[in-house]
């Protein structure tokens, strides 16, 4: 999950639960109907209980321990390990008897991802007849750049346009030291205001003890995926702090390096049984990627396993696929199961899918995206909350169905709206699809750390939440409920 959410307060969890949860035990034991606001849900049928029985804690543990193993090296985008994880998910879909929704019936939607690294080769900085020392180029364009222009230390104003702007070395945040990605983002954000004003190039003065030259070497070893808004395509060059500059300079910088890799969304479908409603689909999703290894020579555990974020969500998706496939009678609507690459790089895999959908978006009834369901706080077991709760009726409808198995789905008022745009559901929202993320935990201290290991997950809680997702979504899949958009 891409977020800055505060830890859940246990008091809030205990008090902000929908009243529907209080009815759940009576429903399961006595067979009465459950009501969440205006939504009424019939008890699970015997056939649906068979699907529910496919959700077992032992299988959940088996799945999560594979996806979050050290051998998966944190499932970075792109990486061999992410490809292995994608193959595993495809195998699970195939084994459940689902059909591939990709081209020619495959389980993959493949994209060629281009990553960029610093320019390689000789950087030349010349003032008059004198060649000046440089440390190397951080950014460059797609072709060799030759810049001639006046030197300025101005940061704003008309003097920036067309000039070679000289700036002092920016301070790096603590988390950026030895982290090529964080250094690149820090420098990009420092330079982009100058780019917007039309600067021709930027020279960064670096101190003798600067960490930037070492970071530059890390950047060369590890090309990065940056969102479009952080792409810098003018020359940005490191130079010794003591260099004297004035007047006009000439700068030559080679083209930036580019690496092309294949990345895959994994997608499968259980086609609906109703002649008309099967043209509509409910789409379950989760992001398969995480952030890989810590960069640099740090010693100790450097693998960001991403167990909770978001191997738990992927485990839910493949387990739900098993449960739906176990139904003796397929639901009326089609059900799609999908995992995305590149969420941690800016929701890239889901954006790619929504720009090139394999199922019509106007016939996608809802996207139920699953994020971080493995680490409940004390007293919060068997509960989950949805983002953007007030944007549609989906959360309340899931709550009504999930209550039948004793799982509570509630409105987390303090972060629901803030996190609405922080995960893959938002790629669908931007295309007009009702889409929300559902979580069953908090932003714990192991978030985006090597300590996010599967051994720290509450597997029994995960299995119960997946049961809630299954029971909650069945009325939608059967065509008995259709979520509608609402005002904020």
Radius of gyration of the chain measured on its C-alpha atoms: 26
**Mean pLDDT of all residues in the chain?**
89
The SS3 call for residue 186 is helix
- β-pairing, 39-41 vs 34-36, is antiparallel
Q: Which two tokens stand for residue 86?
A: 């994608």
pLDDT at 13: 31
In this predicted structure, the answer to whether residue 15 has a pLDDT above a threshold of 80 is no
How distant is the alpha carbon of residue 302 from its chain centre?
A: 20
Among 103-112, 178-187, 453-462, the minimum mean pLDDT is found in 178-187
Binned at pLDDT 50, 70 and 90, residue 31 comes out as: very low
pLDDT at 488: 65
Cα torsion 320, 326, 330, 331: sign? negative
Measured distance CA(461)–CA(440) in Å, rounded: 9
- β-pairing, 364-370 vs 281-287, is parallel
pLDDT at 465: 98
Superfamily of domain 10-116+261-477: Zn peptidases (3.40.630.10)
3-state secondary structure 339-392: EECCHHHCCHHHHHHHHCCCCCHHHEEEEEEECCCCCCCCCCCCEEEECCHHHE
What are the DSSP E strand ranges found in 66-207? 99-100, 108-117, 124-127, 130-132, 136-139, 145-152, 164-168, 201-206
In this predicted structure, the answer to whether residue 9 has a pLDDT above a threshold of 60 is no
Mean pLDDT of 248-265: 96
Residues 6+ apart with CB under 8 A from 61: 454, 459
Place of tokens 């917007």: 196
Percent of the chain with pLDDT over 70: 91
Measured distance CA(133)–CA(144) in Å, rounded: 19
Among 32-36, 227-231, 264-268, 351-355, the minimum mean pLDDT is found in 32-36
Instruction: Give the residues across from 111 on adjacent strands.
Output: 263
Residue 411's H or E segment, with its range, is strand 408-411
Residue 334's H or E segment, with its range, is strand 334-340
Mean pLDDT of 379-397: 95
Measured distance CA(469)–CA(480) in Å, rounded: 16
pLDDT at 4: 36
The domains of the chain are located at: 10-116+261-477, 119-255
At 45-82, the pLDDT tens digits run 999 999 999 999 999 999 999 999 999 999 999 999 99
pLDDT at 20: 30
Q: Which two tokens stand for residue 257?
A: 């390096």
**Do residues 286 and 339 lie in contact, with contact meaning Cβ atoms separated by under 8 Å?**
yes
At 318-369, the pLDDT tens digits run 999 999 999 999 999 999 999 999 999 999 999 999 999 999 999 999 999 9
Binned at pLDDT 50, 70 and 90, residue 40 comes out as: confident
CATH class, range 119-255: alpha beta
Among 11-20, 106-115, 356-365, the minimum mean pLDDT is found in 11-20
Among 109-123, 287-301, 335-349, 361-375, the minimum mean pLDDT is found in 287-301
Among 9-13, 282-286, 422-426, the minimum mean pLDDT is found in 9-13
Tell me how long the chain is.
488
- β-pairing, 364-370 vs 435-439, is parallel
Binned at pLDDT 50, 70 and 90, residue 18 comes out as: very low
Measured distance CA(125)–CA(135) in Å, rounded: 11
Residues 6+ apart with CB under 8 A from 188: 139, 226, 230, 231, 232
pLDDT at 23: 31
Residues 6+ apart with CB under 8 A from 191: 139, 202, 232, 234, 236
Binned at pLDDT 50, 70 and 90, residue 296 comes out as: low
Binned at pLDDT 50, 70 and 90, residue 179 comes out as: confident
pLDDT at 209: 87
């Amino acid at each position: 999950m891409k977020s800055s959410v505060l830890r859940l307060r246990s008091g809030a969890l205990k008090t902000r639960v929908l009243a529907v949860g209080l009815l759940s035990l009576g429903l399961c034991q006595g067979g009465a109907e459950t009501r969440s606001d205006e939504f009424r849900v019939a008890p699970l049928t015997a056939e649906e209980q068979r699907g529910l029985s496919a959700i077992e804690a032992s299988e959940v543990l088996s799945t999560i321990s594979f996806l979050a193993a050290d051998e998966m090296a944190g499932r970075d985008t792109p990486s061999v390990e992410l490809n292995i994880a994608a193959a595993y998910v495809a195998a699970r879909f195939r084994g459940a008897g689902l059909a591939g929704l990709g081209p020619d019936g495959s389980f993959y939607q493949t994209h060629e991802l281009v990553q960029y690294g610093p320019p390689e080769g000789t950087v030349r900085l010349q003032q008059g007849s004198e060649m000046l020392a440089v440390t190397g180029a951080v950014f460059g364009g797609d072709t060799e750049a030759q810049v001639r222009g006046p030197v300025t230390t101005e940061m704003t104003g008309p003097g920036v346009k067309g000039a070679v702007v000289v700036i002092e070395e920016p301070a790096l945040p603590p988390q950026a030291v030895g982290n090529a990605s964080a250094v690149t983002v820090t420098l990009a954000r420092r330079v982009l205001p100058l780019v917007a004003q039309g600067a021709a190039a930027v020279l960064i003065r670096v101190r003798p003890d600067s960490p930037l030259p070492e970071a530059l070497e890390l950047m060369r070893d590890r090309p990065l995926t940056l969102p479009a808004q952080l792409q810098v395509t003018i020359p940005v060059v490191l130079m010794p702090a003591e260099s004297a500059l004035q007047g006009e300079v000439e700068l030559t910088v080679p083209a930036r390096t580019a690496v092309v890799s294949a990345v895959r969304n994994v997608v499968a479908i259980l086609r609906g049984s109703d002649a008309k409603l099967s043209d509509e689909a409910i789409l379950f999703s989760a992001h398969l990627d995480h952030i890989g290894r810590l960069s640099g020579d740090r010693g100790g555990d450097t693998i960001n396993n991403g167990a909770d974020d978001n191997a738990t969500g992927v485990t839910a998706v493949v387990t739900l696929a098993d449960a739906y496939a176990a139904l003796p009678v397929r639901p009326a609507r089609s059900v799609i199961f999908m995992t995305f690459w590149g969420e941690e790089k800016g929701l890239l895999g889901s954006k790619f899918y929504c720009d090139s959908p394999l199922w019509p978006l106007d016939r996608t009834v809802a996207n139920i995206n699953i994020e971080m369901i493995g680490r409940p706080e004390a007293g919060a077991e068997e509960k989950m909350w949805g983002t953007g709760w007030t944007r549609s009726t989906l959360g309340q409808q899931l709550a009504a169905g999930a209550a039948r198995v004793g799982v509570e789905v509630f409105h987390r008022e303090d972060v629901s709206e803030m996190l609405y745009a922080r995960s893959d559901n938002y790629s669908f929202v931007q295309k007009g699809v009702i889409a929300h993320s559902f979580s069953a935990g908090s932003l714990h201290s192991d978030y985006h750390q090597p300590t996010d290991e599967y051994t720290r997950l509450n597997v029994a809680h995960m299995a119960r939440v997946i049961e809630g997702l299954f029971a909650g979504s069945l009325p939608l899949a059967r065509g008995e409920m259709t979520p509608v958009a609402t005002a904020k």
